Amino acid sequence: MRIGVLTGGGDCPGLNAAIRAVVKHGELAYGHSVVGFRNGWKGVAEGDFVTLNRSDVRNVLPTGGTLLGTARFHPHREENGMEQVLRTLRAEHIDGLICIGGDGTLHAASKVAEQGIKIVGIPNTIDNDVEGTDLSIGFHTAVNIATEALDRVHTTAESHNRVMVVEVMGRSAGWIATYSGMAGGAEVILTPEEPFDIEEISKYLIHRHRSHASFSIIVVAEGALPKEGSDMNYEAPVGPYGSIVAGAISEAVAYEIQQRTGFDTRVTVLGHVQRGGVATPTDRILGSRFGVAAVDALSQGKSSLMTALRGEHVELIDLKEIAGKVRKVPQDLLYVAGSLS
């Protein structure tokens, strides 16, 4: 077979582990040839690709980013996008395509699969919001980075008796905030899943600082919002392509807390640091397992599926079922996060 592979959407550590597994397993187990499309679906539309063999993926297992490049390009939303993609795949005799990305890239994959192209998707996003899988590539590394940042913020917060507001990524889900907030011992964790009441939080901080503490850490997911009708004027600004504007919610929360409590408050926005650097062993292994499973599925003639981690097992689930959905943090996890803060 001649297999194509692409990485679309936000990059993250663990992507190269998946590409490496596709190339190595494809070649060693089946004698497949592999081509890498540059910059996600854009490279497919433009016919921009490279032949990949084992020497091209030597030493990439730990490295962050993606050796193929990425872009936020969705052929089904671009004029002639789908035609261009189908033309390239047919002209290059691509027998099967492995699409590594978040819900945008996977949604496009389900659309291209409807045109008869053999496709298997691999979930990668630090947001961990892809429906159907317990874990997406990159989430584990992002949680590690955010938790380490919270450990660092603790020492300066305590030294200055301050309230520190730390904003983490995650789009419209609160996975990074919930996991890093729990692991980092935050006093308050704000997620999109549970709109917050700033007056309630301020009262809690005043009580806390009067009774037993002199500093507090607040983790805010970039997509968190105040409760409707609660006493905080906030309209979330919208960035390019409808994206979230980093720093907006954390600055607003910090301002309100400073006004209502008088406590010295500072903001830290972690931003793209959460997507950089080397992959944790968990993300290297997850990327490798998903890469192998995707090659096996295509080699068995399967299509329109996504690799998914369910407990300890890698399974294949229907791509159509997950496309366009956002996986939210479940109530039981939010309950525990709320109980310990």
Question: Which amino acid is present at 6?
Answer: L
Strand 313-318 with 305-310, pairing: antiparallel
Question: Which of these segments, 50-58, 76-84, 124-132, 206-214, binds ligand F6P (CB under 6 A)?
Answer: 124-132
Question: Which amino acid is present at 267?
Answer: V
Q: Give the other-Cβ count within 10 Å of 303's Cβ.
A: 16
Residues 149-208 within binding reach of ligand F6P (CB under 6 A): 169-171
| Residue choice 8, 61, 127, 178 for contact with ligand F6P (CB under 6 A) | 127
DSSP character at residue 51: E
| Residue choice 4, 81, 101, 102 for contact with ligand F6P (CB under 6 A) | 102
**DSSP assignment string, 239-264:** -GGG-B-TTHHHHHHHHHHHHHH---
Question: Under rule CB under 6 A, how many of the chain's residues touch ligand F6P?
Answer: 12
Binding of ligand F6P at residue 38 (CB under 6 A)? Answer: no
- H/E segment holding residue 91: helix 81-91
Residues 6+ apart with CB under 8 A from 21: 287, 288, 289, 290, 291, 292, 295
Binding of ligand F6P at residue 275 (CB under 6 A)? Answer: yes
Catalytic status, residue 318: no
- Contact between residue 114 and residue 75 where contact means Cβ atoms under 8 Å apart: no
Write the binding mask 1 to 20 for ligand F6P: x where contact by CB under 6 A, - elsewhere. ---------x----------
Least distance (Å) from ligand F6P to the CB of residue 127? 5
Question: Which amino acid is present at 200?
Answer: E
Choosing from 11, 103, 127, 296, which is the catalytic residue?
127
Least distance (Å) from ligand F6P to the CB of residue 243? 6
Residues 219-238 within binding reach of ligand F6P (CB under 6 A): 222
Positions annotated as catalytic residues are 127
Which residues lie near ligand F6P (CB under 6 A)? 10, 102, 125-127, 169-171, 222, 243-244, 275
